[in-house]
Amino acid sequence: MAPVEALFDDLAGYLKSEDVAQVRNAYRFSEAAHQGQYRKSGQPYISHPLAVTGILAQWRLDPQALMAALLHDVVEDTKVTGVQISETFGKPVADLVDGVSKLDKIEFQTRAEAQAENFRKMVLAMARDVRVILIKLADRLHNMRTLDAMTPAKRRQIATETLEIYAPIANRLGLNVVYQELDDLGFRYLHPNRYRVLAKAVQAARGHRRDVVEKILEAIRQRLADAGIEATVTGREKHLHSIYRKMQEKSLSFSEVQDVYGFRVIVKDIPACYLALGALHGLYKPIPGKFKDYIAIAKANGYQSLHTALFGPFGTPVEVQIRTAEMHKIAEAGVASHWMYKSHAETSFSDLHQKTHQWLQSLLEMHSETKDAAEFLEHLKVDLFPDEVYVFTPKGKIMALPRGATAVDFAYAVHTDVGNRCVAAKINFELVPLRTELRNGDRIEIVTAAHANPNPAWLNFVATGKARSNIRHFLKTMHYRESVRLGERLLAQALAALQPALRQVDDEHWERFLRETNAKSREEVLADIGLGKRHNMVVARKLLFAGEHASKQIGPVEPVLIRGSEGMAVQFAKCCRPIPGDPIVASIKKGQGMVIHTHDCPVLAKLRSDPNHWLDVGWAPDVEKLFQVNIKLVAANQPGVLAKVASAIAEAQSNIDSVGMEPSEGGGYTTLHFTIEVSNRMHLAQVMRRLRSISEVVRLNREKS
């Protein structure tokens, strides 16, 4: 039977005749639009949308999704517009097509940028309507099945994209069959030689292990029958990429991977699952720590099953999954099960839909806080971890987080404000560091403070896309506000130098400046000055003298006073670590803002030749902040010296931030490098006087580079 007729015969099995007629109209429209177009394989192009629709028909999707699948490439590859699709087939179909279509009409600087923007657009459309991703996954599945026609370089690129994005999304939505096929096809085309060798090894092992597998199957069936449990028992072979991942992660050879086969037991209801588990634990001894109850605590993608690992005959590990028939349907089809089985199990999938909806909403929230498409794609990849840990809130609510998640990830999973304000965490009633990794079954309580803010150091250990994007968003916003405040001060300094009597300019000056420079707002200009993207003197001249050609005499420039409380807009250089009392100068780094150096810093000497790169600054008289400074100390290598040094620093009301040691070649002396906190040069002098009073200290100096 021709593929077209086979498809419509299949559709007639679950759609009304008028719906089938609509889908047929979409097929004719698509066939006419793609007339004369061919795929790389030489087949007529219409064969691709037809195959994609066939995959969706297996999931029993509705007519709108089927029509969108037939039309998903016409806007991209033909002269047909989205407006025409909307007028002919309705707005819902046009929206689905738009969600799947690429952004080919927009010019991007790099291919990576285009790819990231495409994913962002697709994910946003998916959050509005999950059918978008189902069509896209079916599209990717057929493209992967026909990838042989592409060049090796193109195959590798598409396979990488599939393994990094599409296979994990399929897994996240519970589409297990699609996930496994995409995963294996991605592995096959990304590592063709490894795939071939492993496939051959599995095929050979299949013959060697057939007797063992049959023996275990028969033993399981017999034990369940003896226990009076009705069950369907099947053996299953693990897919190649999961075997390869296990070999890589645990540094095993193929011969050492014994659990290539698993067994699945399907029973009638949940009590029968636990009865079957008990019966099998009586047949073979369970392997400690390998039991997982995904029925009581379902996975985030709705998956439910009991997993256990047993010591089988000849010491062979036996992996068994026990589930009900309904759980099996969800395990295989995930979110697509809504369409496949909704006629008789509408309420069974509500939890799955709720979890999927929550995940999609978290993607929308992540998008609203991440303007950069590449950064959004990075967060999405982070969020697609397949392994999860299940933890409890103080009220007993279960939350699923990726493996490696920390207390900070949990805080952001509860609510963005909880994450932004968290200062401490209790795991199982004990105070722990915020970077502590969570384990299954942990009970977590987050301690918050009203004036707390996210710490940039959290980015080094958080594991979820939501936490990462929220921290970055907060820091960027904070940096922007602080840059605006710094920009105001720098502009006031420049205005005072040009026209001492005038420290402010009126709205008319600003409106003219914004018009001439195409800047969006006054705030943006001030932020640009604070970030070093615009020079304060240039902006001041344009504000005051736009349209006037006469040169203006610049008066003496007052230094900008540094208080130490400017936040991220002002940074203190680590090369020289300036402290109040040091003569200082500031360099302006584009995009970073003001960086304060000591006037004799060797790093700054390179920038002195260009006056646009540095500013005159001074210390405010009321600086109260503590500053880090480096000191180098050579002391006799004797017991208790480090304790004496630390005690002297503490007695001088200073705090040790870090310490490093390097023993001398003879072993008689040790060089100690301290980073300590002081309020100014006088405070540093007090610390150094105390240190010099220690008899074992033979040399002491401040390190500036």
Query: Catalytic residues, which ones?
Result: 76-77
Q: Do 170 and 234 belong to one domain?
A: no
Q: Are 473 and 481 in contact (CB under 8 A)?
A: no
Residue 262 confidence class, pLDDT cut points 50, 70, 90: confident
Residue 336 has pLDDT above 60, yes or no: yes
Angstrom distance (rounded) from CA 361 to CA 130: 11
Q: Are 136 and 122 in contact (CB under 8 A)?
A: yes
Determine the average pLDDT of the residues in 31-45.
88
Angstrom distance (rounded) from CA 37 to CA 180: 31
Residue 156 Cα distances to 136, 178, 275, angstroms: 19, 19, 47
Give the range with max mean pLDDT: 428-437, 539-548, 608-617: 428-437
Angstrom distance (rounded) from CA 173 to CA 167: 10
Residue 277 has pLDDT above 90, yes or no: yes
Q: In the prediction, which pLDDT does 243 show?
A: 83
Q: Do 207 and 299 belong to one domain?
A: yes
Angstrom distance (rounded) from CA 654 to CA 667: 29
Residue 523 Cα distances to 198, 509, 517, angstroms: 60, 14, 14
* 634 lies in some domain: yes
Task: Output the CA torsion sign for 6, 9, 10, 16.
Answer: positive
Task: State whether residue 210 is helix, strand or coil.
Answer: helix
What is the token pair recorded at 504? 């402010």
Q: What one-character-per-residue DSSP string does 673-689 give?
A: EEEEEESSHHHHHHHHH
* 480 lies in some domain: no
Q: Do 186 and 45 belong to one domain?
A: yes
Who wins on pLDDT, 475 or 679? 679
List, in order, residues 6 or more apart from 302 with CB less than 8 Å away. Answer: 174, 330, 334, 335, 349, 351, 352, 355, 356
Angstrom distance (rounded) from CA 386 to CA 403: 8
Q: In the prediction, which pLDDT does 259 show?
A: 64
Q: Do 298 and 178 belong to one domain?
A: no
| Whole-number average pLDDT of the chain | 81
Percentage, residues of the chain above pLDDT 70 = 81
Q: Are 532 and 591 in contact (CB under 8 A)?
A: yes
Q: In the prediction, which pLDDT does 228 show?
A: 92
Residue 623 has pLDDT above 80, yes or no: yes
Lowest mean pLDDT among 1-5, 66-70, 202-206: 1-5
Residue 541 confidence class, pLDDT cut points 50, 70, 90: confident
* 371 lies in some domain: no
Angstrom distance (rounded) from CA 353 to CA 344: 16
Q: Are 263 and 209 in contact (CB under 8 A)?
A: no
Residue 1 confidence class, pLDDT cut points 50, 70, 90: very low
Q: Do 315 and 208 belong to one domain?
A: yes
Q: How many domains does the chain have?
A: 4
Q: Are 528 and 514 in contact (CB under 8 A)?
A: no
Q: What is the pTM of this model?
A: 0.61
* 304 lies in some domain: yes
Determine the average pLDDT of the residues in 168-179.
84
Residue 344 has pLDDT above 70, yes or no: no
Q: Do 183 and 231 belong to one domain?
A: no
Determine the average pLDDT of the residues in 642-669.
86
Residue 105 has pLDDT above 50, yes or no: no
Q: In the prediction, which pLDDT does 346 show?
A: 47
Interval 135-148: pLDDT, tens:
989 999 999 999 98
CB atoms within 10 A of CB 206: 13
Please classify residue 313 by burial: count the beta carbons closer than 10 Å to its beta carbon, then call 0-12 exposed, 13-18 middle and 19+ buried.
exposed
Q: In the prediction, which pLDDT does 343 show?
A: 46
Interval 207-253: pLDDT, tens:
666 777 788 889 999 999 999 999 999 887 778 888 888 888 778 77
Q: Which long-range contacts (CB under 8 A, 24 or more apart) does 132-136 make?
A: 132/96, 132/99, 132/100, 133/169, 133/173, 134/56, 134/59, 134/61, 134/65, 134/335, 134/336, 135/52, 135/56, 135/65, 135/68, 135/69, 135/72, 135/96, 135/100, 136/100, 136/166
Q: In the prediction, which pLDDT does 392 show?
A: 87
CB atoms within 10 A of CB 393: 15
Domain range for residue 236? 199-341
Q: Is residue 495 within a helix (H) or strand (E), and if so which, with residue range? A: helix 465-498
Residue 549 has pLDDT above 50, yes or no: no
Q: Do 113 and 215 belong to one domain?
A: no
List, in order, residues 6 or more apart from 615 with CB less than 8 Å away. Answer: 490, 536, 559, 560, 585, 586, 587, 588, 594
* 509 lies in some domain: no
CATH number at residue 653: 3.30.70.260
Q: Are 214 and 318 in contact (CB under 8 A)?
A: no
Residue 641 has pLDDT above 70, yes or no: yes
**CA-based nearest residue to 465, from 584, 585, 378:** 378
Q: Do 86 and 175 belong to one domain?
A: yes
Angstrom distance (rounded) from CA 132 to CA 123: 9
Residue 267 Cα distances to 220, 294, 343, 606, 671, angstroms: 13, 15, 22, 76, 71
CATH number at residue 327: 3.30.460.10
**CA-based nearest residue to 69, from 302, 359, 349, 339:** 339
Q: Do 103 and 222 belong to one domain?
A: no
Last residue of a domain, one of 161, 190, 219: 190
Distance from the Cα of residue 547 to its chain's centroid: 49
Q: In the prediction, which pLDDT does 679 show?
A: 92
Residue 676 has pLDDT above 80, yes or no: yes
What is the token pair recorded at 141? 């599945």
Q: In the prediction, which pLDDT does 38 show?
A: 87
Residue 521 confidence class, pLDDT cut points 50, 70, 90: confident
Residue 103 confidence class, pLDDT cut points 50, 70, 90: very low
Residue 610 confidence class, pLDDT cut points 50, 70, 90: low
Q: In the prediction, which pLDDT does 530 show?
A: 77
Determine the average pLDDT of the residues in 283-295.
87
What is the token pair recorded at 340? 């496949």
Residue 684 confidence class, pLDDT cut points 50, 70, 90: very high
Task: Output the CA torsion sign for 311, 314, 315, 321.
Answer: negative
Residue 465 Cα distances to 261, 369, 436, 474, angstroms: 34, 11, 17, 14
Q: What one-character-per-residue DSSP string does 613-649 give?
A: GEEEEEE-TT----EEEEEEEEEE--TTHHHHHHHHH
Q: In the prediction, which pLDDT does 580 show?
A: 92
What is the token pair recorded at 527? 């932020």
* 420 lies in some domain: no
Lowest mean pLDDT among 398-402, 421-425, 652-656: 398-402
CATH number at residue 89: 1.10.3210.10
* 218 lies in some domain: yes
Q: Are 635 and 697 in contact (CB under 8 A)?
A: yes
Q: In the prediction, which pLDDT does 378 show?
A: 65
List, in order, residues 6 or more apart from 534 with CB less than 8 Å away. Answer: 525, 528
Determine the average pLDDT of the residues in 408-414.
93
Last residue of a domain, one of 589, 624, 659: 624
Q: Do 24 and 99 belong to one domain?
A: yes
Positions of E strands within 331-459: 388-392, 398-402, 422-427, 430-432, 444-448
Lowest mean pLDDT among 337-346, 484-493, 589-598: 337-346
Determine the average pLDDT of the residues in 150-155.
89
Q: Do 588 and 690 belong to one domain?
A: no
Last residue of a domain, one of 624, 656, 671: 624
* 348 lies in some domain: no
Lowest mean pLDDT among 449-458, 467-476, 497-506: 497-506
Q: In the prediction, which pLDDT does 8 show?
A: 83
Lowest mean pLDDT among 33-37, 125-129, 450-454: 125-129
Q: In the prediction, which pLDDT does 327 show?
A: 87
Could you tell me which residues are beta bridge partners of residue 88? none
Determine the average pLDDT of the residues in 399-418.
90
Interval 424-444: pLDDT, tens:
999 998 999 999 999 888 899
**CA-based nearest residue to 30, from 81, 74, 64, 62:** 74
What is the token pair recorded at 680? 């100014």
Q: Do 608 and 666 belong to one domain?
A: no
Q: In the prediction, which pLDDT does 574 show?
A: 85
Phi, psi angle pair for 7, to nearest 5°: -60, -50
